[in-house]
Amino acid sequence: MVSRVIPVDLFDLVIFGGTGDLARRKILPGLYRRFLDGQIPEDSRIIAAARSEMDDAGYRDMIREAIVEFVSKDKQDKTCIEKFLSRLAYVQVDATGTDGWDELAEKMRDGVVRAFYFSVGPSLFGAIAERLHAYHIADEDSRIVVEKPFGHDLATARALNQTLAEHFDETQIYRIDHYLGKETVQNLMAVRFANMLFEPLWNARNIDHIQITVAETVGVGGRGGYYDKSGAMRDMVQNHLMQLLCLIAMEPPYAFEPDAVRDEKLKVIRALDPVEPDDIVRGQYGAGEGGTSYLDDVENRDSRTESYIAMKLHVANWRWKGTPFYLRTGKRLRARTSEIAIVFKDPPHSIFGDQETHKSNVLVIRLQPNEGMNLKVTIKEPGPGGMRLVEVPLDMSFKEALGPDAEDIPDAYERLIMDVIRGNQTLFMRGDEIEASWAWTDPIIEGWEARGDRPVSYDPGSSGPEDALMLMHKDGRRWREVKV
């Protein structure tokens, strides 16, 4: 197979929080896979920074274990692993103090791309940005990568934007939303804007409604403390689901370029109508299916935080007037599924009499599992018996359709890190996008708090609260089944 890997420039990548969960589970295994593909130039270096006492050898041991645990067995080549590990270094740095910063400064080289990944809690973002500047570690070409959560509300997001702006230009700031790095999410743009087939139909005249589902089977796990202060609205809707909605609803950008795409996404967020309380259902999972309840998991019997949310949104512009967007996401549901379903309207008139012909076309874009697309169309059932209609899927699994090229779909993190090194911000969120999203989210959450709303309970292993079914039923629609 011809390699399609585009090499990147020589770089020094510093990972603050290099000993943490995200670094061990996603960032370093992802970098190893890029290394295997030959995308990481000779002499590029990855420098981990954290407070733990450790030397280079100790850090390499830690990442060797992480690769064994988190990289598929067929990619674990001993020689390659050792070669990759030889690129790693460790510096003991205290983000909020003075320890380690001079040593880190000495390690940085001139003439290479300098990138700094803030894989630490958000309370440290400001301190790190400030010190990168004070110790002359970052220059005007350096890039910083900022993890979620980006703020807790509009005020904190704005404050964080201002802090980062004191030391870095917007063109240097890469706010990561790993959903944007997923293959299928980018494919959504290809489907819309590289085909003549869909875009003419992509509006309220032809589309009845849109469903966006991100369902997880896991509960809050060890993140209970963090999650209970956040909830599904802040943790998932404000960022990930909002980004998916933007890519579906946006106007065609003039080019696949950072600000062209981000300008169009911003317009969508600004066009969102406020949501009526009746158009939102919040849930908390109960105990069962071998697991404890949400309230036990977060150790807070009075918690009013939602582990599930379903809502109906309207994008108030010419294209979407009258076509609702239904969003739902939650934990401890029946299956781990992420998908976008574009449900088309029925044909205006059936020429086939009163047999059930009104099955609408549905275009489903699957993010997980098994990334791919599915278009439901109605055809004649083969064989005798007259004109009997049947609905069939035109199903395309990327892995099956594209063969070996799709076997190795890079993980979202690895793709996004390489974009940082290339200096391509298209798949990263701009500061004003995030602020607009919080400006829409804040009044909704304030409304719950003012009214003292409590989430309803739902059974673990189900597809969510009954009330969420009603949200659709009252409009004469239904959710697609969350399939195992």
Is 56 a binding residue for ligand NAP by CB under 6 A? The answer is no
- Minimum CB separation from ligand NAP for residue 478, in Å? 32
Facing residues of 329 across strands? 214, 309
Q: Looking at 117-125, 346-354, 404-412, 457-465, which segment touches ligand NAP (CB under 6 A)?
A: 117-125
- 209 closest CA partner among 478, 465, 394: 478
- Minimum CB separation from ligand NAP for residue 120, in Å? 4
Q: Which two tokens stand for residue 232?
A: 């599904």
- Segment 75 to 104, residues that bind ligand NAP, using CB under 6 A: 93-96
- Segment 141 to 180, residues that bind ligand NAP, using CB under 6 A: 147-149
Quick one: 20 or 29, whose CB is closer to ligand NAP? Answer: 20
CA atoms within 13 A on the CB side of 152: 11
Quick one: 179 or 398, whose CB is closer to ligand NAP? Answer: 179
Is 50 a binding residue for ligand NAP by CB under 6 A? The answer is yes
> To the nearest 5 percent, what fractions of the chain are helix, strand and coil?
40, 20, 40
Q: Looking at 28-36, 67-75, 114-122, 413-421, which segment touches ligand NAP (CB under 6 A)?
A: 114-122
Contact 433, 263 (CB under 8 A): no
Is 121 a binding residue for ligand NAP by CB under 6 A? The answer is yes
Cis preceding-peptide flag for 348 (omega within 30 of 0): no
**Beta pairing class for 337-344 and 362-368:** antiparallel
- From 39, 44, 119, 307, residue interacting with ligand NAP (rule: CB under 6 A): 119
The footprint of ligand NAP on this chain (CB under 6 A) covers a number of residues equal to 23
- From 8, 11, 13, 20, residue interacting with ligand NAP (rule: CB under 6 A): 20
- Minimum CB separation from ligand NAP for residue 257, in Å? 26
State how far Cα 88 lies from the chain centre: 27
Residue whose entry in the numeric block shows the structure tokens 């995308």: 39
Q: Looking at 103-111, 118-126, 327-335, 434-442, which segment touches ligand NAP (CB under 6 A)?
A: 118-126
Quick one: 51 or 158, whose CB is closer to ligand NAP? Answer: 51
Is 21 a binding residue for ligand NAP by CB under 6 A? The answer is yes
Quick one: 120 or 173, whose CB is closer to ligand NAP? Answer: 120
Contacts 24+ apart (CB under 8 A), 278-281: 279/311, 279/312, 279/313, 279/471, 280/309, 280/310, 280/311, 280/312, 280/444, 281/308, 281/309, 281/310, 281/311, 281/456, 281/464, 281/465, 281/467, 281/468, 281/470, 281/471
Catalytic residue among 209, 240, 314, 358: 240
Quick one: 16 or 458, whose CB is closer to ligand NAP? Answer: 16
- Minimum CB separation from ligand NAP for residue 473, in Å? 34
The answer for residues whose C-beta is within 8 angstroms of residue 190's C-beta and 6 or more apart is none
- From 13, 36, 88, 120, residue interacting with ligand NAP (rule: CB under 6 A): 120
Residue nearest to ligand NAP according to CB distances in the complex = 20
Work out the number of other CB atoms within 10 angstroms of the CB of residue 450: 9
The residue type at 145: V
* 240 catalytic residue (yes or no): yes
Quick one: 177 or 433, whose CB is closer to ligand NAP? Answer: 177
Residues 102 and 91: their CA atoms lie apart, in Å, by 10
Q: Which residues here bind ligand NAP, judged by CB under 6 A?
A: 16-23, 50-52, 93-96, 119-122, 124, 147-149
Active site residues: 240
